[in-house]
Structure 1
């Protein structure tokens, strides 16, 4: 299986950062996800119960950042990847977290991780 479900540019407000002022405000993160999923069954059945519900994935991501306030993007990525793999049973995922405006000279900075075994 080489199928994936994509979520790109999910905007999430989060308290994240190492500086004191960052701990007192909410900043927008942009999240891209690629999640391994066998899309054959939902493709044939046209039934959501066979699919990876991307709306549910997005809800978990948003809720995760309401309750977790990491300092580093790296810590945010690790925790979120673990949560998504556990909650949805995906064998592999690629996760990109971008923090727009964090460095004035760059449109955004961020991290990209892959976890699990890609089928």
Structure 2
């Protein structure tokens, strides 16, 4: 079992959605990322290079969500998962992409998709 490193509630402005007004006006998305990482060596050495730099990861996730519009939040979540798995120390990842301002025509708190990906 891996140790977990989590980023929760990262707010990113993007232009994703199937409706023209979503693409034109954009909206805030909220990203949660949970990484499966063996942190034992980092803990022993107290060395950042032996783990995942979560400030760098937050910047990379922000970049992935704020650029290139997609119709589906599933597509954006996959984009985030792929960049997380590009890090050699990440064994698995869970990404939840929230779209709290989704135009569904009814009152709701949130629409979200959660995906799980691993190296295997």
Q: Residue by residue, what CA displacement relative to the aligned partner does 1:68-87 show, whole Å, maximum 9, x if unpaired?
A: 2111111111122112212x
CA RMSD, 1 decimal: 1.5
Q: Which residue of 2 aligns with 1:105?
A: 107
Could you tell me how far apart the structure 1 residues matched to 2:119 and 2:63 are? 26
**Counterpart secondary structure, 1:30:** strand
Give the count of matched residue pairs.
Answer: 117
Query: Match for residue 117 of structure 2?
Result: 115
Secondary structure of 2:38's partner? coil
Structure 2 match to 1:51? 51
Deviation of 1:117 after TM superposition, in Å, equals 5.1
Instruction: Name 1:80's counterpart in structure 2.
Output: 80
Rounded Cα–Cα distance in structure 2 between residues aligned with 1:22 and 1:66: 13
Query: Runs (4+) of structure 1 moved beyond 3 Å?
Result: none
Following superposition, the deviation at residue 40 of structure 1 comes to 0.9
Cα drift, residue 26 of structure 1 = 2.1
Give the superposition deviation at 1:57: 0.7
- Deviations 1:34-76, CA, capped at 9 Å, x for gaps: 1011111111222111121001110101111232211111111
Could you tell me which runs of 5 or more consecutive residues in structure 2 were left unpaired when the two chains were aligned. none
Partner of 1:6: 6
Partner of residue 24, structure 1:
24
Q: TM-score, normalised by structure 1?
A: 0.90
- What's the TM-score once normalised by structure 2's chain length? 0.89
